[in-house]
Chain A
Amino acid sequence: MIDIIGYGAFFLTTALIFSLVTLGLNLQWGLTGLFNVGLAGFVAIGAYTSALLTTPDDAARLGGFGLPILVGWLGAMVVGGIAAALTGMATLRLRSDYLAITTFGVAVVVQLVALNAQKLTGGPFGIGFIPRPFGSLAETPLLFNLSNLAVVCAVTLIAYLALEHLSRSPWGRVLKALREDERAAISLGKSARFYRVQAFAVGGAIMALAGALQAHFTGFIAPDNYLPILTFQVWVMLIVGGSGSNLGAVIGSILVWGIWAGSGTLTSALFAPEQQARAASLQIVAIGVMLCVILLIRPNGLFGDRPRRPRFGKRAKAAAIKSSFGS
C-alpha cells in the first residue's frame, strides 16, 4: 500500500513537472502561436544552469558554486528566458517556420554543448550530486516522495495561476489577437514583435524552471534526458489537453504521462529484456501516430480554445480563399 502511494507520488511529481513544461509551451504556442520544436533545449538549459549553481565545488569542471537551491531555480529561469528571448529576436520578424527551424537548432546545439563541453556540463556522464530539497528525508522514501510532490504541486499551481491571470490580462489579449493573424503580427512591426518575444521568453523561463525542478528531484542529469523525444512528448501532452487551455495543458500532461508510463510498464512485462529497446521504439511510433490522429480528428484536444478558422470579416474571406487553394 505504502509502495503504491509512494509510486503514485513519484508518478505525479514527474507528471506535474511535465505539466510545467507544457504550461510554458502553452504560453508560447497556445496563447501566442509561436512554434517551439526545441523545447528540450530550454529544459536542458534550466537543468544545467541550476545544477551548475547549486552543486558543491567540483575540480573536474567549472563551479559548482554551492548556492541555495532557490537561487539555482531563479538562475535557471533567467538563463532559459534569455536564451528564448534571443531565439525569438532572431526569428519573430519572419514566417513562423523559421522559428520552428531555429528552435530545432537550439535543441541540437544545447545537446551538443551538454555532450562536448566537459568543463561546463560534465560531458556524456552528466552532473551528479545535485542537492535535493528534502535530501534529509531520503531515508523514508514515502515522506521524501510526498514532500517532493508538495513542492512541485505548489510551483505548478503558482505557475498555473500566474498564467491564467496573464492570459486574461490586456497583455494576454494582445497575444491572442496577434496569434490569430500572423501577417498582421509581422506587419505591426516592433511593438507586436516585442510582445511575442516576451511571451516566448517567459515560456522559455518556465520550461527552464521545470528542467531545474526535475534535476533537483533526481539528483543527477545527463544529456540523454533532453533528446528530441522530450520535445515530442510535451507536444503530444499539449495537443491532447488542447492548446490554448492551461487546464488542458496540466490534464493532458498527466494523462499522456500516464499512458506513456503505463505502456512502458506493459512493454517491460511483455517483452524479453533484449527486445526492450525495440519495444520502446514501438511506443514512440504509437504516440507519434496518436499525435497525428488527434490533429486530424480533434485538433482542439480536450479543452482547447483555438478557433479553427476565423468566422467573420475580411480574414474569414482570406482564410476561405487560402483553404480553397490549399490543395
Chain B
Amino acid sequence: MSETVLDVHDLEAGYEPGVPIVRGASITVGKGEIVVVLGPNGAGKSSFIKAIAGLVPITAGTVFLDGKDITAAPAHTMVRLGLAFVPQTENIFPLMSVEDNLKVACGILERREIPARIDEMYAAFPDLVRQRRTAAGNLSGGQRQMLAVARALIVHPKVLVLDEPSAGLSPKFVSMVFEMLAGIRKSGVTILLVEQNAKAALAIGDRAYVLVEGKDRHEGVASELWNDPVVAELYLGQRPARAGKGGAA
C-alpha cells in the first residue's frame, strides 16, 4: 500500500452519549486509492463516514488526515483540512444556481483562483455548463450528483468522501456516477465511499472494508472481495436483489 492519507483508528461515534452507533471501526486509505466501505443495512456505515466528516459526535478513537489529527475538528473546517464530503441526499442548495452552488464552496480558495477553478469543473462535467444559470433544484438526479461531486472537488481535497453516491438513482445514472468516480481517481484524487451497491462499487474500488454492527469485520482487495466466502456470509449472504429499504441512513 502506498502512503496513507486517511487513518481512522478505533472510531466510536453516536448521537446520544452511551449509545454508540460506530463501535471501534478502523480503516486506512492510501494516496490515490478508492476505498469502499460495505455493510448490511443498519451497520453504521453512514454514521461512520459522517463521523469522519465531523457530522456525528466522536466519543473515542482518532482520525488522522495526512498525519494531522482531525478527530475533534468541526465540520466546517474539514474542507480547509483537505477532506471534502458529499452527503447522500440534500447535497446541493436547491434554490441557488448551479454556478452559485460551486461558488459558495470556494470559500477557502484565493479570490482570483475561483473563476479558473469553476471553468475546470465545467470542463470536467460538461453537463453542468449548459445549466449554469439553472436553479440546482431543477436538475435531474444524476446531474445533482455531478454538481455535488464537482462542488466537493473544487477545493482540491486530499480525500473525497462520498455517502452512497448511487442511492436513489436510476440504473443508467448509477453506471454514470461510478464511471465519473473512476475518472476522478485517474486525476489523482483519493476516494473513500460508502456503498449499498456492492457490485458496482467493488468494480471500481481498490480495497474494501465490510462494516458490521459498527465495527470493521473484514478487509480485502476489492476485486477479490466479491467472491470471498466470509463476505458472502457477513453481508452478501443477506443481500436482497435490490438492497432494500434504505435502512437507518
Contacts and interface: CB of A to CB of B under 8 A. Distances in A.
A281 interface: no
B233 interface: no
A307 to B, nearest CB: 14
A229 B213 CA distance: 56
Interface in B1-56: 15-16, 55
Secondary structure type dominating chain B contacts = loop
Minimum-distance CB pairs A-B, first 8: A320-B15, A317-B15, A316-B16, A316-B15, A320-B16, A321-B15, A324-B57, A311-B16
Nearest to A314: B248
Interface in A282-327: 311, 314, 316-317, 320-321, 324
11 contacts: A311-B16, A314-B248, A316-B15, A316-B16, A317-B15, A320-B15, A320-B16, A321-B15, A321-B55, A324-B55, A324-B57
Interface residues of B, number: 5
Contacts of A320: 15-16
Contacts of A314: 248
Chain A interface mostly: helix
Interface string B231-249: 0000000000000000010
A320 B51 CA distance: 13
Contacts of A311: 16
A238 to B, nearest CB: 30
A319 to B, nearest CB: 9
Contacts of A317: 15
Contacts of B248: 314
Nearest to A321: B15
B152 to A, nearest CB: 19
A317 B44 CA distance: 13
Interface in A135-188: none
A110 to B, nearest CB: 38
Contacts of A316: 15-16
Give the one of A311, A314, A317, A321 with max B CB within 10 A. A317
A315 B248 CA distance: 12
A324 B76 CA distance: 12
Interface string A242-270: 00000000000000000000000000000
A165 to B, nearest CB: 35
A164 to B, nearest CB: 33
Contacts of B15: 316-317, 320-321
Contacts of B55: 321, 324
Contacts of B57: 324
